[in-house]
Amino acid sequence: MNSIAQLNEVPPLDDAVEAALASGDRPPVGRYRLDLATGRWSWSDEVYVMHGFEPGEIVPTTQLMLSHKHPEDRSRVDGLLRSAASTGEPFSSVHRIYDANGKIRTLAVTGQGRRDPESGKVVELIGYFIDVTEAQREAAQREATASIRASAERRAAIEQAKGVLMVVYCIDADEAFARLRHASNHANVPVRDLASWLVNWFSRPGVMAFPGDQEVSDFLADPVPPGNGAAPVGSSSPLAAAG
């Protein structure tokens, strides 16, 4: 019932589908048809499975389909379908659903209207559902990993900058961070950026010895981003020399 073969006359929306599949591995794809007069949906087997049902287990309707949408996405999808039913224009959306087992899945839907050749009215919506749950999860994991790494790099820069100030001013870690934060507020530069700039300035090629407290104070009063022309004062980096 409602297999791909039954729906193979649905014209493909190649561009929209290719965009949804651009993440890499091919996710599950299913076809649908919505009869606007009756509100009945024809689903391929894949769409049933996406919604947590066995193929043919239930009779798809607009009410049933919307009931599975995530509450935060439901009105948006409903509005999208209503607009497409009115205009027949191609559409696409990514939204979340709760399947029959209560699991959240992320689906992309693409479609367009089909007009009656005699009346010119939009009588059907036809298109694809694409299960992009795994692609979304992998993307979220990549973003989280990148964020964690970036956070670690920012913390490392701050710790290095604190170390510079502790040596130069003979102060403890708390006082070093307080001075870094004060300079950050004065220059209207985030602490993490100022710390990175200070470390780059301090480690730049040509620096042979630890800068004096006045040099560091001058830098903190008017910090220079990397590559903006801080003048070298020697022949090697003090961080490299210390290593």
How many CB atoms sit inside 10 A of residue 201's CB?
A: 21
Residue 8, pLDDT score: 37
**More confident call, 243 vs 113:** 113
Q: 163 and 124, same structural domain?
A: no
Q: How confident is the model at residue 10 (pLDDT cuts 50, 70, 90)?
A: very low
- For residue 205, pLDDT over 90 is answered with no
Q: 236 and 150, same structural domain?
A: yes
Q: 62 and 29, same structural domain?
A: yes
- For residue 208, pLDDT over 70 is answered with no
Q: Give the residue-averaged pLDDT of 84-93.
A: 89
Across the chain, mean pLDDT equals: 79
d(CA 144, CA 139): 9
Q: Give the residue-averaged pLDDT of 81-95.
A: 89
- For residue 9, pLDDT over 50 is answered with no
Q: The pTM is what?
A: 0.52
DSSP character string of 118-157: TT--EEEEEEEEEE-HHHHHHHHHHHHHHHHHHHHHHHHH
Residue 92, domain extent: 5-131
Strand partners, 108: 94, 130
Q: 174 and 116, same structural domain?
A: no
Q: 106 and 9, same structural domain?
A: yes
Q: Give the residue-averaged pLDDT of 191-213.
A: 79
- For residue 186, pLDDT over 70 is answered with yes
Q: 185 and 105, same structural domain?
A: no
CA distances from 236 to 90, 195, 210, 217, 223 (A): 62, 20, 11, 21, 21
d(CA 14, CA 20): 10
Residue 17, pLDDT score: 47
Q: 11 and 120, same structural domain?
A: yes
Convert the pLDDT of each residue in 39-73 to its tens digit. Answer: 889 999 999 999 999 999 999 988 888 999 999 99
- Percent share of the chain, pLDDT over 90: 33
- Which residue in this structure is represented by tokens 């220079």? 224
Q: 100 and 32, same structural domain?
A: yes
* CATH number where 105 lies: 3.30.450.20
Residue 140, pLDDT score: 65
Residue 120 within a domain: yes
Convert the pLDDT of each residue in 106-159 to its tens digit. Answer: 898 889 999 999 999 999 999 999 998 887 777 666 776 676 666 667 778 888
Residue 230, pLDDT score: 44
Residue 228, pLDDT score: 57
- Residues 6+ positions from 217 with CB-CB distance below 8 Å: none
Output DSSP code: residue 205. Answer: T
d(CA 221, CA 59): 71
Q: Are 98 and 68 in contact (CB under 8 A)?
A: yes
Residue 227, pLDDT score: 65
- For residue 193, pLDDT over 60 is answered with yes
Which of 138, 95, 89 has its CA nearest to residue 112?
89
- For residue 236, pLDDT over 70 is answered with no
- For residue 92, pLDDT over 70 is answered with yes
Residue 233 within a domain: yes
How do 29-35 and 122-131 pair as beta strands?
antiparallel
Query: Order of strands across the sheet with 91-98?
Result: 41-43, 29-35, 122-131, 104-115, 91-98
Domain limit, last residue, from 107, 131, 155:
131
For 52-60, which contacts have Cβ atoms below 8 Å and span 24 or more sequence positions?
52/99, 52/100, 52/101, 52/103, 53/100, 55/1, 55/2, 55/3, 56/1, 56/2, 60/32
Q: 20 and 120, same structural domain?
A: yes
Residue 139 within a domain: no
Domain limit, last residue, from 100, 131, 162:
131
Q: Are 233 and 211 in contact (CB under 8 A)?
A: yes
